[in-house]
Amino acid sequence: MHWIEVDGYPMPKLWGGHHALDFCNTWSGWDAVVRTPSGEPDPKREWIPTYDRLAVWAGHAGLLSTKTVGRLRDAAKGDPRSAASVLRAAYRFRNALYRLLRDPADGAAFDEVARVAQAAVRATELVPDVEGGARRQLPESTGLSWPLYAVARAAEDLLTDASHRSVRACPGTDCGWLFLDVRGRRRWCDMASCGNRAKVRAHAARQAGE
């Protein structure tokens, strides 16, 4: 199974090996959306159809603390228009990031990813690190954009690291999930799910051919 239940919601399993890839994997069936990118989420493929689920996903992925997720969910109820606008921006960003990871020459996708990643950097503040020195973090004042900016920071992290060259897409039907394949041996998002389904189909096709 591709999902587990978190806070009463089905949430996609974190098989990507990187937060940015797991975010792309909040949509299933990428080939369809690459052909017809529409703003409207398909309920059968969309794991984050509402801002509330986007916030819960960010907690599930370990990008935001439970406390922050709770605060954002409350804040979104008080400002549904802003929440819907952040959700639309998250879909645009996810689409661009997926396209860029599949095709590094996609300049329009790069521009969109860079635009959001730079907005996320501008939203950060430099704080002292516990081990000395300093680090960048998103402050409380980031507000409803927090889950999107947290993902954009993760995407920058991936794209500026050599590991982005090891990103592969699962060939499973209605899947297309991304994952890191550093050793060059992984074919499926998950052998027991997509790998097994493909094996069963191949077996059925062989039997039909006999």
116 lines the binding site for Zn ion (CB under 5 A): no
Nearer to Zn ion, 28 or 95 (CB): 28
- Span near Zn ion by CB under 5 A; candidates 29-37, 60-68, 114-122, 170-178: 170-178
170 lines the binding site for Zn ion (CB under 5 A): yes
Nearer to Zn ion, 18 or 73 (CB): 18
Q: What is the rounded distance in angstroms from the CA atom of residue 13 to the CA atom of residue 178?
A: 12
Smallest separation, CB 29 to Zn ion (Å) = 10
Report CA Rg, the chain: 18
Show Cβ contacts of residue 30 under 8 Å, excluding neighbours closer than 6 positions.
24, 98, 169, 175, 176, 177
What is the contact mask toward Zn ion in residues 180 to 209, using x (rule: CB under 5 A)?
---------x----x---------------
Q: What is the rounded distance in angstroms from the CA atom of residue 130 to the CA atom of residue 142?
A: 22
178 lines the binding site for Zn ion (CB under 5 A): no
167 lines the binding site for Zn ion (CB under 5 A): no
Q: Is residue 151 helix, strand or coil?
A: helix
Instruction: Give strand ranges (E) for the chain.
Output: 3-6, 9-12, 125-128, 134-137, 167-169, 178-180
175 lines the binding site for Zn ion (CB under 5 A): yes
Q: Which residues bind Zn ion (CB under 5 A)?
A: 170, 172, 175, 177, 189, 194
